[in-house]
Structure 1
């Protein structure tokens, strides 16, 4: 039984080590790309990239402990791995609660960010990219552009429209982006809960293997 537990932990944590390195690479690439955009350094785009880097580093180091601990049958590394998983599980529980109950704060963050991007001329191209991505127009609809631009930008309307006008423009970006994030926050919360269950199983396996190693050592004394 402990032989199976050992190699299940070894293979699983080797995969998680590679996943952590992949997240690190993606996060660094995203951070480089977002930092090239003027004025975006303090926006959620940069925060998301940094979060991915931190997550990748945490996953890598924890999985490295589990991989080495199971391969070397090192009781200290296995218990450290189990403790790290326990702390990580606690953090995920907190994040999952925020995902399900933080709709109001998400809406406030989106409104603040989109309003700043809309009012900053240096971020105009970035804002039009947001409009293209989420199929939205202005902060609260096409009327947001009154007194800002002489005509609505093409990003405010579908591609098949010959002339972009208020009558065929998309809705406001604040509501559309907030609805998108609120919709998928439940999906992310469910993913976190699933990962949490896997982590508890891995933590249980690590403790079982560590106890078995300790028992063998006592028998050999």
Structure 2
């Protein structure tokens, strides 16, 4: 096997390892934000990332074993996966509407279920802690950093603004993660094609 092929083989293994780690990271990100997304989005995300992880392992195994069949299979499915992800990301970009922070906070406020939002997003009330004071209510512990009920630990920003900012940045994070995964998939596809051809040529030379 030529020096170039060996280098490509190592690069393919390394990039597939990185792709696998990215898929695991994406699964963790989806799990962390599962309560903020629709069930359909969460399920689709888990399935897509699991498939990416599977083919990343396949790419590593194929390169190590120098298998033409497995390398070709990996290349084909990585290309299909990249195309599907490009289409779905473009559709998401044009059709996705950022969630309304005002609506989410209002629902939580009416259900007296603000604690989770206040702790996760480090905010207090709908617009500020004054919302509780205006209703003659005690400011809840969840409005304080580390639940330490002292003025210097009080969150000063309202949850509507913080949640809206989170939804806006959440969309950007999704797009960045998605395009990074697509880029790695296409690079791994190109390397898999090169390796499949190289492994095939090596087999032919060994037959003579």
Whether the TM-score (by the shorter chain) exceeds 0.5 is: yes
Correspondence for 1:120 among 97, 111, 132 = 111
Partner of 1:38: none
Instruction: From 96, 106, 118, give the equivalent of 2:98.
Output: 106
Long gaps (5+) in structure 1: 35-41
**Residue of structure 1 in register with 2:184 after alignment:** 198
Aligned Cα root-mean-square deviation (Å) = 4.2
Q: Normalized against structure 2, the TM-score is what?
A: 0.67
Q: Is the 8 A contact 1:92 1:196 kept in 2?
A: yes
Q: What residue is the counterpart of 1:73 in the other structure? A: 66
Looking at structure 1, the residues matched to 127 and 95 of structure 2 have their Cα atoms a distance apart, in angstroms, of: 22
Report the TM-score when normalising by structure 1.
Answer: 0.64
Alignment of 1:39-78 (within 5 A): 43-44=35-36, 47=39, 53-54=46-47, 56-78=49-71
Structure 2 unaligned runs (5+)? Answer: none
1:161 aligns with 2:148: no
Other-structure match for 1:135: 122
- Which position in structure 1 is the counterpart of 2:199? 213
How much has 1:131 moved relative to structure 2? Answer: 1.1
Please give the alpha-carbon distance, in whole angstroms, between the structure 1 residues aligned to 2:14 and 2:138.
58
- Which structure carries more relative contact order (alpha carbon 8 Å, separation 6+)? 2
* 1:22-69 residue CA offsets vs partner (Å, 9 max, x unmatched): 777x58xx59xx9xxxxxxx9437958766754552233111210111
Across the two proteins, how many residue pairs are aligned to each other? 199
